[in-house]
Structure 1
Amino acid sequence: MTSRLTKPIAATLATAALLAFPLSAYGAVHQPPLSEAAVSSVHTPRGALVSATPVAHLTAAQLDAAAADFPGTPRAAYGVTAYRLIYRTVDVNGRPTTASGLVVLPDGRRGALTVAEYLHGTTATKAYAASVDDTSTDRLVTALFAGQGLVGIAPDYLGLGSGPGLHPYFDTKTETSASADLLLAARTFAAKHGIALKRDVLVTGFSQGGRASLALGRALSRGEVGPFRLGEIRAVAGPYDLLGEELPAAFDGRVLPQTATYYLAYFVTAWNRTVGLYNNPREAFQAPYASTVEGLFDGTHPFEEIVAGLPDTPEKLFTPEFATKLQHPSGRFLRALRTADQVCRDWTPRVPVHLYNGTEDTDVVASNADSCAASLRKRGADVTVHSMGAVDHFGTAFTAYPEIIRAYARWA
């Protein structure tokens, strides 16, 4: 195991735990949570607010201290208060369910404010989600946007945080619906604090969330998220081209083998539930992993346990036949990949799109951004690819987010 992989991918941006300021350290915030019973009907509209619970408060000085690992981040203009929202959304089959997410408000601001929506990267552990983990760097990044005077929101996605069931990893449809429905719930919640959310939404995300940012941007641009529309996209190190770039890189060494094994195991077990890739785990996984791999991704295991339960290369995890299937997709699997890759191909953003990559990224290869940019430009989109230089996956985020926070602060 390399030192890179000992750092939790689930922490998303972090290579080490950053400062966290739990609410208990600063006294209670007098915002009573809504009762689950208050929104009990399965017919409640998507985006309905079920409950709101304060989880953290940071002063502007504390935000500045916590941002030390993001050098160049502009100083905070406001202290912030973070809340965990439970809200109504839909599952992979369109049935009613709930999800959790984080909403961070700038202290003392009222009136019409702009939203910055941050979509997080890969995590297979419910407890690592921003709305429940006091040490989450995803929570910090969302709070840094609020410290500039924006409303920061961050969905946990389905099945993570306080959400029921399993997370449908890389499921574009529910990444979009969970993100859109949190925006609607945040509108209701913010109104209780004298804040109206402006129409234009600033979208950003890292890794899995970078790709999900394009999907949410597409929904906003098509008028699919209530009154909201797309203001701008700034996506970091996203696997936008699964078929043409990321899957091949997972087998040809451009993605580190142990990293590729983790991602592919998560991807295959999740897509088997939503797409259907095998009838029995023994068809896909070699012994002894066939009997254990699905359980590793049930949401309860921390990153270290998952990695310890997997081999160090994809070739040791998958049967030769299934490894061939992953490298040469066909049938239903190929159609699902092509559909997923439409996030950069079947729409034309009417606002600027900024994609950030790093040349030493061995989790999500930099060519993903080039492929996405080329596809969008063919449709007439204004796309800029920002190379953050010779940095790895997390280094790309550490160098990109100070720029993104500064850019979005102009909307405050």
Structure 2
Amino acid sequence: MRRTLSLGIAGALIASSLVVAGQPATAATGRLVSATALHTYATRADVDAALTADKFDPGTDRFGVRTYRLIYRTIDATGRQTTASGLVALPINNSKQLRTVSFGHGTEIYKGDAPSTSDDVFLIGPALTFASAGFAAVAPDYLGLGAGPGPHPWMDVPSETTAELDLLRAARVFVGGQGRQLTRDVYASGFSQGASAALGLARALQQGADPWFRAAAVAPISGAYDFRHAAIPSLFTPEVNPLLASAYTTYLLVAFDRLHDIYPDPGYVFQRPYVGLPKLFDGTHQGLEVLMALPATIDDLLTPRGKALLLHPTGRFADALAVLDSVCTDWAPRMPVRLYYSPGDEEAVNANTEHCHAALAGHGVAAPTINLGVDIDYNGFVHEGSEVLGVPQVTRWFTQLSS
């Protein structure tokens, strides 16, 4: 069983003044604060062993890998200066020019469950895979996770975008200090929460958010791209595991209220005895502890007003959901796009991928949906299995595009 709780989990059962995603960057954003060497996988065989321990296909591996934790300057969800952390994985080879893959991880609630602060292969496996294939891989922890201060603003695409972009900038400086260079091309991918983050990053790069980096392709995996019309309604159906529906509903309400003030007090949306749940989503509580505190079903969790707020959002909540869902609706990617999914996903239901595909098609964008099949052996959950299946396929596609 995995040790965390995430939309990608199934826990115990889950130097620029450009505007980025509506928030102003400053000369300080992306500045490297520190770099810490983490692990050396000296040979391809070492990478193979690490990946196969968590069922990742090592078929794209070519090189050993070194990993590092970077801490860097960025802005928080309100535009104030802060720091964040992220993982950088580099191939052990003689290449001086490295194309980059940015990979966004799935939902986590515990600060330590982030790529740069965890040894969980589910979190670091994507970076190892891309780096062993010859890419420089960067994996943001996002705000408030890893070594970053404060609570995590879950599913806030603008701050996910700035965290990813500023990690790219810090990584460019770090890699340059090793006598190597990140080329302009960035291949964006991510799983679950990170799928929306990947689209947000690709959109920002296409819009000129950085004078150096440009989006070469984007390949999100099993995203919840349409919260208002697919992800939220599915929480009230048998399509989503009921305990995980309870978990994701709580995280959504707590995170969005913290950032957007969408209800007057916890008792407005949560039934007794669950009005104290928000305190568990401060980043200091591990997944199993949170799962044990949750009701088994969403009906036991919510008041009638809480259910109405979710199913019929208005005001600030509706506006925030529109920003989240805009990753598929308000732009036309000019780079290759593929949407990866597994049928029968019990967390980010397939309607999300269908809606994103349709929205992009409405802008004249051909974004093929790629059926990954099902790996029911990954803790018995389709959703998590889609990362394990998807990352090697995305690696092969990015390698083809970059060769």
Quote the Cα distance in structure 1 between the aligned partners of 2:124 and 2:225.
24
Conserved? CA contact 1:85–1:103, under 8 Å: yes
- Cα distance, 1:141 vs structure 2: 1.4
Q: What is the match of residue 239 of structure 1? A: 224
Q: Distance in 2 between matches of 1:67 and 1:395?
A: 14
Using the size of structure 2 for normalisation, the TM-score is: 0.91
In structure 1, which of residues 57, 60, 67 is the aligned counterpart of residue 40 of structure 2? 57
Structure-1 separation of matches of 2:329 and 2:263: 28
Counterpart of 2:39, as a letter, is A
Gaps of 5+ in 1: 1-5, 18-41
Letter aligned with residue 62 of structure 2? A
Shift of residue 16, structure 1, vs aligned partner: 10
Percent identity of the aligned residues? 39
Q: 1:305 aligns with which of 286, 289, 307?
A: 289
Paired residues of 2:3 and 2:288 also in contact (CA < 8 A): yes
Does residue 157 in structure 1 map to residue 142 in structure 2?
Answer: yes
Which residue number corresponds to residue 389 of structure 1? Answer: 373
Aligned to 2:327, what secondary structure does the other structure show? helix
> Are 1:404 and 2:394 counterparts?
yes
CA offsets, 1:358-406, max 9 Å, x none?
1121100011111001111111112010122345101222222221122
Cα deviations by residue, 1:314-364 (Å, 9 ceiling, x for unpaired): 111111111111111112211221222111011111111111111121100
Q: Is the 8 A contact 1:355 1:383 kept in 2?
A: yes
Aligned AA (1:130)? P
Give the Cα–Cα distance (whole angstroms) in 2 for the partners of residues 384 and 180 of structure 1. Answer: 26
What residue identity is the alignment partner of 1:89?
A: T
Match of 1:48 in 2: 31
Match of 1:255 among 223, 240, 243: 240
Shifted more, 64-73 versus 386-395: the winner is: 64-73
Partners of 1:174 and 1:11 lie apart in 2 by 18
The CA deviation at 1:127 is: 0.6
SS at 2:368's partner residue?
A: strand
Q: Where in structure 2 are the equivalents of 1:251-330 lying within 5 Å?
A: 251-290=236-275, 292-330=276-314
Correspondence list, 1:136-215, <5 A? 136-215=121-200
Residues 275, 13 of structure 1: CA spacing in aligned structure 2 closer, same or farther, 3 A cutoff?
A: closer
TM-score w.r.t. length of structure 1? 0.89
- Counterpart of 2:101 in structure 1 is 116
Paired residues for 1:12-51 under 5 Å: 45-51=28-34
CA RMSD of aligned residues (A): 2.0
- Secondary structure in 2 aligned to 1:383? coil
Mapped to 1, the partners of 2:280 and 2:192 lie a distance apart of: 21
Counterpart Cα distance in 2 of 1:342 and 1:13:
21
Q: Give the residue type in structure 2 aligned to 1:399.
A: L
Residue 353 of structure 2 corresponds to which residue in structure 1? 369
SS in 2 for 1:289: coil
Residue-by-residue CA offset, 1:257-293 (whole Å, 9 max, x unaligned): 1111111111110100111111211111111110x21
**Contact residue 8 and residue 15 of structure 1 kept, 8 A:** no
From 302, 324, 327, give the equivalent of 1:340. Answer: 324
Cα gap change, 1:210 to 1:15, in 2 (>3 Å)? same
After superposition, the C-alpha distances for 1:102-146 in whole angstroms (9 at most, x for unaligned) are 001111334211001110000000011110112242212101111
The number of residues matched between the two structures is: 382
Report the alpha carbon displacement of residue 43 of structure 1 after superposing the two structures with TM: 7.4
Query: Which residue type is aligned with residue 363 of structure 1?
Result: E
**Superposition map of 1:30-109 within 5 A:** 45-58=28-41, 59-68=43-52, 69-70=54-55, 72-109=57-94
